[in-house]
Structure 1
Amino acid sequence: MRKNHAITRLSVGHACVDVYQGAVAALVPFFVAERAYSYAAVSGVVLAASVLSSVAQPLFGVLTDRRAVPWLLPVSTLLAGLGIALSGVSDSYAVTLAAVALSGVGVAAYHPESARVARAAAGGSHAAMGWFSLGGNLGFALAPLTVAAVVAVGGLRLTPLLLLPAVVSAALCLPVLRAERPRPRHGTAGPPAAGTDDTASFVRLSLAVVCRSVAFVGLGAFVSLYAAERMDGSRAAGTAALFLLYLGGAAGSVLGGALAGRWGRVRVSCWSYLLTAGSIAGLLLAPGPALYLFVALTSAGLYVPFSLQVTLGQDYLPSRVGTASGITLGLAVSVGGLISPLIGALADRTSLRTALTPLVLMPVLAWLLFRTLPEPVLPAPSGVTESDGDAPSRTS
């Protein structure tokens, strides 16, 4: 299968899967409206989707480093969709938690192996990984609209219809998997990666990813409620804010790859996190509809480093690409859910604005951590390899 066709299929499949990550936050206003959930209760739903995903994602990464498990892509996609499809069928809070947790496990299983397959299919370049990440970011952006189109019409009882993107994604990935060549049991896709692991830099990168995740998931869980609160209780205003927060990923991922080709991944990520700190503060302080401008700036600031962090992690751990992908790609959008119950509890006791204010510090911490990171200097072999494909000069 031609490289461009494979990446296109994987990107669209990634979009379908990440609809389910965005769907958890998109369902929050409907849980509040139909079931009268408190802030703490809805943050518990976000936690349920995140906690198993956060624990399982690195484990699936280790698995994919040891052997190819391409069958995980269709299976994990269907699990992610099934969990969200079941989340609205019962009024039981425990059943809802179990359903979104099942979806979280599906998402966790999908990302490390899909990143490995995408890296192999694309020859390892930043630009191709940016397009792969773009697919996931578009899925996030479409999640509020998809959920609203289904649930706003007939309520939470129609969530089984949300299984459809999973079926589409599973069907799209099958031709790519059939075309993929077998690889050695131990190692990453294709020839063994050159270079040595820089574990210390990878740990600092991972901490920066955690800071980004706390800000991203915290805003994803509550920005729709915050916008609705600021706009006289308009649910449409909340959906628009969440859509805008996720939509920035479409431009951010591609823009990040282009900027990194000129200035390097570490420097571009530093600039992005400084922008994000200011824009989150503006989001919380801006009057009326002006908050949408800062939602857009926050989205851009959070998404520009997204695919750059993935390839940085792979370059810091060239012998464990699956593990690196599981942490940087998967945990970037799941581990923040572990903090969301604290935000919800604080919001119940004070106000939503007060509870969201600490999120301003998260991109500042990420910026400080990125300032300590080196730009990986990769060997330049005579032939084109995956590591060669990740060099900054190939991103433009």
Structure 2
Amino acid sequence: MAEPPAAAAKSGHGLQQTASQPSSNTVYRILLAISFVHLFNDSIQSVIVAIFPILKETMNLSYAQIGWISFAINFTASILQPVVGLFSDKRPTPLLLPLGMCFTFTGMLLLAFAPNYVMVLVSVIFVGLGSAAFHPEGSRVAHMAAGSRKGLAQSIFQVGGNAGQSLAPLLTKWIFIPFGQIGALGFTVVAAAGIAVQSFIAKWYGTTLKQGYAFTKRTSGTINPVFKKKVMWATAILVLVVTIRSWYVSAIGTYYAFYLIEAYHLTIDQAQIYIFLFLGAGAAGTFFGGPLADRFGRRNLIVASLLGAIPFALALPYLPLIGAAIVLILTGFVLMSSFSTAVIYAQLLHPGSIGTVSGLITGLAFGMGGIGSLMLGNFIDTFGIHDVMIAAGFLPIFGLLTLALPTDTKVRAWTNQA
């Protein structure tokens, strides 16, 4: 497959645009490689969630302390992802890809032998640093390799991450229940494989940069000053919607297993199957969401995703187990179909700032999920898990705000894009 053509030269401190534009060909080998690394990265992150039941029992942790662990990794990633994205927009840095996975490797090694709660927090912060380094540059690589199929490319990239996250309950069932905390040691092998693949991607990334692939705003449009306030208002709505979605996903991914144990008297390993249904369906929704957005519009897909999840979320706490399993699958698929699309829509709102907005939206998903986990953990300690899970079912109602988002056509007009 054709690579982006040589068209520019380095000038000053950054890469400057010349006459030609990036190739419209899609480089699938790079998209698949970066998706696999996303799978490695987020499956390692899912270890943190997977080990919660073990840490709660062996270290006698409260729900609030579990929330702080989730907050530590997610907040670290969310704070640094936009910073890394802003830096890489000005100076793309292929070395960040393998370097980030080195941080992740260190985090897993520390977690396997962490003797206390404080060291657990330190280890997950290292994993968060690795995630912060990976995601903006990974999203940029997906954008570079996308050609004309931006939605499909972002879906291929993001589905790797969401598939990795969906493994958390299976890891609990098959690794951490039988082996305990030391089971985290095996994931240093996954991190090592990630470093190897990242080195391959970084080589392609660096070569493409040398060929002159440009990232300046002139390649894709600029925000018309007349519409700047409208663009910022649309961005604020998108950020709020992503926040609400992240809180609900955290409620299910982090605490619903405990709800199943208490309300339905399931064992820890039995409860993990239901969480996997939700997260696995979410990974499928992430993949199909991008192509659907390419066909029906990004704004339309985001609206359908958030509004479509409302009845399922409200009904979930009241259903028998079989009904809960079905609704978890439907909710995960519908709600997460907007995951990659939200990133593409943000890039549409802010052309030329691929790394920054990718870091903002994906970082926000991590960070707000961490804050949501922390808040929910404290609420559960105070009010009980049953009442909090019922209350969480009302969160998707805020998806009604998506109706205020401008259409794709309107956004292109605001940002001088064809």
Task: Specify the alignment match of 1:141 in structure 2.
Answer: 166
Task: Specify the alignment match of 2:128 in structure 1.
Answer: 104
1:170 pairs, out of 195, 199, 202, with 195
From the superposition, tell whether residues 331 and 85 of structure 1 become closer, same or farther in structure 2 (CA, over 3 Å): farther
Q: TM-score, normalised by structure 1?
A: 0.89
Equivalent pair of 1:111/1:329 in contact (CA under 8 Å): yes
> Residue deviations 1:231-290, cap 9 Å, x none?
424112221122122101232022212332343221222122122222222221112342
Q: CA deviation at 1:103?
A: 0.9
2:326 pairs, out of 288, 293, 296, with 293
Q: TM-score, normalised by structure 2?
A: 0.84
What secondary structure, in the 3-state scheme, does the structure 2 residue paired with 1:371 have? helix
Distance in 2, Cα, partners of 1:199 & 1:320: 14
Q: How does 1:188-337 map to 2 (within 5 A)?
A: 188=215, 192-196=219-223, 198-337=231-370
Task: Specify the alignment match of 1:27 in structure 2.
Answer: 51
Task: Specify the alignment match of 2:400 in structure 1.
Answer: 368
- 5+ long unaligned stretches in structure 2: 3-26
Equivalent pair of 2:38/2:160 in contact (CA under 8 Å): yes
From the superposition, tell whether residues 368 and 68 of structure 1 become closer, same or farther in structure 2 (CA, over 3 Å): same
From the superposition, tell whether residues 348 and 311 of structure 1 become closer, same or farther in structure 2 (CA, over 3 Å): same
Matched, 1:42 2:66: yes
Distance in 2, Cα, partners of 1:204 & 1:286: 32
Q: CA deviation at 1:80?
A: 2.4
Q: CA deviation at 1:325?
A: 0.2
Equivalent pair of 1:66/1:187 in contact (CA under 8 Å): no
The letter for the 2-side match of 1:270 is V
Q: CA deviation at 1:94?
A: 0.8
The letter for the 2-side match of 1:104 is G
Equivalent pair of 1:217/1:334 in contact (CA under 8 Å): no
What secondary structure, in the 3-state scheme, does the structure 1 residue paired with 2:219 have? coil
Q: How does 1:334-345 map to 2 (within 5 A)?
A: 334-345=367-378
Equivalent pair of 2:104/2:126 in contact (CA under 8 Å): yes
Equivalent pair of 1:7/1:121 in contact (CA under 8 Å): yes
Q: CA deviation at 1:375?
A: 2.3
Equivalent pair of 2:88/2:137 in contact (CA under 8 Å): yes
1:122 pairs, out of 146, 154, 169, with 146
> Residue deviations 1:54-75, cap 9 Å, x none?
2112111111111111111111
What secondary structure, in the 3-state scheme, does the structure 1 residue paired with 2:93 have? coil
Distance in 2, Cα, partners of 1:165 & 1:361: 37
Equivalent pair of 2:303/2:403 in contact (CA under 8 Å): yes
Distance in 2, Cα, partners of 1:66 & 1:202: 21
From the superposition, tell whether residues 374 and 350 of structure 1 become closer, same or farther in structure 2 (CA, over 3 Å): same
From the superposition, tell whether residues 77 and 258 of structure 1 become closer, same or farther in structure 2 (CA, over 3 Å): same
> Residue deviations 1:71-124, cap 9 Å, x none?
111111232243244224223111111111221121122111110111001225
Matched, 1:89 2:113: yes
Distance in 1, Cα, partners of 2:403 & 2:108: 39
Q: CA deviation at 1:11?
A: 0.7
Distance in 2, Cα, partners of 1:222 & 1:81: 27
The letter for the 2-side match of 1:192 is T
What secondary structure, in the 3-state scheme, does the structure 2 residue paired with 1:194 have? coil
Task: Specify the alignment match of 1:80 in structure 2.
Answer: 104
Distance in 1, Cα, partners of 2:102 & 2:139: 18
Q: How does 1:346-357 map to 2 (within 5 A)?
A: 346-357=379-390
Distance in 2, Cα, partners of 1:185 & 1:37: 52
What secondary structure, in the 3-state scheme, does the structure 1 residue paired with 2:209 have? coil
Equivalent pair of 1:68/1:183 in contact (CA under 8 Å): no
1:52 pairs, out of 76, 97, 115, with 76
Distance in 2, Cα, partners of 1:42 & 1:233: 20
Distance in 2, Cα, partners of 1:170 & 1:39: 34
Distance in 2, Cα, partners of 1:106 & 1:26: 18
> Residue deviations 1:190-222, cap 9 Å, x none?
973224273332222112111111111222111
Distance in 2, Cα, partners of 1:244 & 1:204: 29
Equivalent pair of 1:25/1:221 in contact (CA under 8 Å): yes
* Higher deviation after alignment, 274-283 or 101-110: 274-283
Task: Specify the alignment match of 2:9 in structure 1.
Answer: none
Distance in 2, Cα, partners of 1:229 & 1:78: 39
Q: CA deviation at 1:5?
A: 0.8
Distance in 1, Cα, partners of 2:214 & 2:313: 41
Matched, 1:16 2:49: no
Matched, 1:160 2:176: no
The letter for the 2-side match of 1:172 is V
- 5+ long unaligned stretches in structure 1: 381-386, 389-396
Task: Specify the alignment match of 1:393 in structure 2.
Answer: none
Distance in 1, Cα, partners of 2:390 & 2:103: 35
What secondary structure, in the 3-state scheme, does the structure 1 residue paired with 2:243 have? helix
Equivalent pair of 1:66/1:186 in contact (CA under 8 Å): no
Distance in 1, Cα, partners of 2:155 & 2:236: 22
From the superposition, tell whether residues 274 and 108 of structure 1 become closer, same or farther in structure 2 (CA, over 3 Å): same
Number of equivalenced pairs: 381
Say what the alpha-carbon RMSD is for the aligned residues. 2.4
